[in-house]
Structure 1
Amino acid sequence: MQYKDYYKTLGVARTATQDEIKRAYRRLARKYHPDVSKEADAETRFKEINEANEVLRDPEKRTAYDALGSNWRAGQDFRPPPGSSYQDFKFNPDDTADFSDFFASIFGRAFHGEARDRVLQRGEDKTIKLFIDLEAAYGGTTRQLQVEAQNGAGRGRTTTRTLNVRIPPGVTQGQQIRLAGQGSAGPNGGPAGDLYLEIEIEPHRHFTVDGRNIQLRLPIAPWEAALGGSVPVPTLGGTVSLKIPPGSQSGQKLRLKGRGLPGSPSGDEMVLLEIVTPAATTDDAKALYRDMAKRLQFNPRAELGV
C-alpha cells in the first residue's frame, strides 16, 4: 500500500495549527464537493480531503500519524511498523467505507460515527415559480427577486436576498432555470444549495402555447376563404402576411414556420382559420344574402343527406 501525506493533501505544513488545518479543509471541501464541483476527479479528491482532515483535526490521531515519521513521501510503498495500529479508537465498520487501507492500517478499519456528521453538508435546494408573460418568454427579460432563506438548513435566522435574474429568450412552460448556490445555506459552513426558478407563462389574449409552438385563431371573411388572398397576421415578432388558399374552411390550420418561441429549433405559429359571417343588419346586406342563396345553390348539409 502507498503512504498518504495528509499534510500535502490539505496543502498545509506539518507545523500547521488546528485553525490552519480547519481553514484549509473547508476551502478544499467547498471546491471539491461532488454536488457542486466541476472538477473531473472531484469525488476522489473529496474523499481524500475528508480522510486527511479526520486524522489531522484530531490531536490524538495526528500524534499517532506523526509517530510514523516525517521522512515518508506520498506514494511510497508503506508497511506499518509492529504495534502501530490504534484499535482503541472504537470504530464502527460501516463508517469507514470511503477511507483508504492506509488509514485502516493505522487506526483500524473504522472510526466513530461522529466523523461523518462533521463532513460539510450541502444546503437544501429550493424551487419557486416565476410568472412571466408570453412576450417575455419570447424576447427574454430580467427580473428582480426577493428570496428568503434560512441559514443552517432551516435552523438559523431568516435572511432576504435581492437577486437580479436574466431570463433567456425562448424559455418554455415548466422549464427550470438553475441559480447555483442561491438555495439554503449548508449547516456548519457547508456549501449552499441551488435555487430553481420554474417558469410559468401567463395566459395570452391572442395566443395559446404548446411547448415552443404557439396557436392563433384567425378570423377571416367568407370571400377571403372562398377566393383566397393574403391577410395580415400577428406574431410574437410582429405582423406578417399570410396567404390564404382559395376554398379554405373554418378549422383549417396553416403554419408559419419558425414564428413560435425561439430555440434550436424554434417553434412554429399554427394559425387556425375561423370564417366570420357578416351580420345582415341592412336592407342591402339582406338583399345580397338572398341573391347569394339563389345564385350559389349551396347546401352546407349535403353530407348529412338532408
Structure 2
Amino acid sequence: MADDYYRVLGVPRTATAEEIQRAYRTLARRSHPDVNKEPGAEDRFKQITEAYHVLSDPKSRANYDRFGAQWRQVPEDFDARRHAGASTGPRRTTSFVNIDLEDLLGGVFGGGRGGPVQGADAEAEITIGVEDSYLGGQRTVTLPGGDHYKLTIPRGVTEGQRIRIAGEGSTGLGGGPRGDLYLVVHFRPDRRFTVSGRDVTARLPVAPWEAALGARVPLTTPGGEVQVKVPAGSSSGRRLRLRGQGLPDPHGDPGDLYAEVRILVPPHPSADEQRLLEELARVSSFDPRSSDSRSSK
C-alpha cells in the first residue's frame, strides 16, 4: 500500500493503543511545522496525523487491518470487529483513551503535561571583512530579509563560525521562549588577502631592484601597516612568514601572516630606467629559465 500507517508511526501491527498514542506524540513533536522548518516537514506531519487518526480509532483500525488502502471504501456502518476472524490486526484487547487532536497537541506543544516548547533556532549568513576579525567590536548587519541586528563581532572569528543572538529565533509554543538566531560568518572576498584557518596571506608588491638587492618595505595587513624585510634575491611567490600576525585567537596562539612577494616592473619606464634596464640585460648572465634559477627563491 502507498502509506503503511504502522510504518509511518514506527510501531508493529500488534501495537497497543497506548503505544500508538506514545509514538504519535513523539513524532508529532519532532515534525510539527512550527518546530521543524526542514523541507517536507509539513507533509510528514500530515502523514503522521492521518495515520494516528486511523489507528487510534478501534473501528477504523479494524477496517484498515482487513482492507488495507481500500479501507475508506468500506461502508460506514461496516465494523470489521463484529466479523469473526475478519481482522488481521492485533487480537489482544486493550483499553483506548480517547484524546482530541487539539488536546493532544496542547499537551505536546504547551498548555498540557508537555509544557511550553521553546521556539526553533534560526540560522542566517553574514559577510564581514577580514579586518573585522582582527579588530572585533560592534557592527550592524542587515540580513537578506531586511532585518537589522547590532551585534558584537568577536576578535578572531573565523570563516564558518557561528555567532549566537539569544531570543531572535522562531516564536515558542504554549508560552515557551523564542529560539536563538545563529549567524554564520563568511569573509568578504578581498584580492589583497586570503585566509586559511587563522593564517592570512597578503600580497607584497616589490620593485625588481628591491627583490634583487633586498629591502625593508611597508605591507598593509588586515591589522594595520607593518614593515617587512625582503631578503636579497627574492623571486615572485616567495612567502615571508610573520609569526603571530594572523587572525587572533582569544583562547590560544594567533595565526601567522605570510607576505607573498610579487615583483612588479615599471609599466612606463623613463628614459633613464630604459637605459639602465638595457645595460642590465647586456651585462647580466642570469637566465630565469634555467633549472638553477627556477629552484632558487
- Give the TM-score, by structure 1 length: 0.55
Matched, 1:209 2:215: no
Question: In angstroms, what is the RMSD of aligned CA positions?
Answer: 3.3
Matched, 1:273 2:269: no
State the alpha-carbon separation in 1 of the partners of residues 149 and 270 from structure 2: 61
> What percent identity do the matched residue pairs reach?
39
2:121 alignment counterpart: 125
Give unpaired runs (5+ residues) of structure 1: 1-89, 98-107, 150-159
Alpha-carbon offset, residue 300 of structure 1 = 1.9
1:92 alignment counterpart: 18
Distance 1:111 1:183, change over 3 A: farther
Letter in 2 for 1:253: R
State the alpha-carbon separation in 2 of the partners of residues 110 and 209 from structure 1: 62
CA displacement 1:234-256 (0-9 Å, x = unmatched): 22222222111121111111111
Letter in 2 for 1:298: F
For residues 1-306 of structure 1, the aligned pairs below 5 Å read: 92-93=18-19, 114=104, 115-117=107-109, 118=112, 119=114, 120-144=116-140, 163-263=149-249, 264-279=252-267, 281-303=269-291
Alpha-carbon offset, residue 196 of structure 1 = 0.4
Larger deviation, residues 216-225 vs 204-213: 204-213
Letter in 2 for 1:122: Q
CA displacement 1:17-40 (0-9 Å, x = unmatched): xxxxxxxxxxxxxxxxxxxxxxxx
Distance 1:161 1:109, change over 3 A: farther
Distance 1:141 1:110, change over 3 A: farther
SS class of match (1:188): coil
Alpha-carbon offset, residue 137 of structure 1 = 2.1
SS class of match (2:174): helix
Distance 1:189 1:168, change over 3 A: same
2:42 alignment counterpart: none
Alpha-carbon offset, residue 146 of structure 1 = 7.0
Distance 1:227 1:161, change over 3 A: closer
In 2, are the aligned partners of 1:177 and 1:197 still within 8 Å (CA)?
Answer: yes
Distance 1:138 1:241, change over 3 A: same
In 2, are the aligned partners of 1:96 and 1:111 still within 8 Å (CA)?
Answer: no
State the alpha-carbon separation in 1 of the partners of residues 267 and 144 from structure 2: 57
State the alpha-carbon separation in 2 of the partners of residues 253 and 109 from structure 1: 77
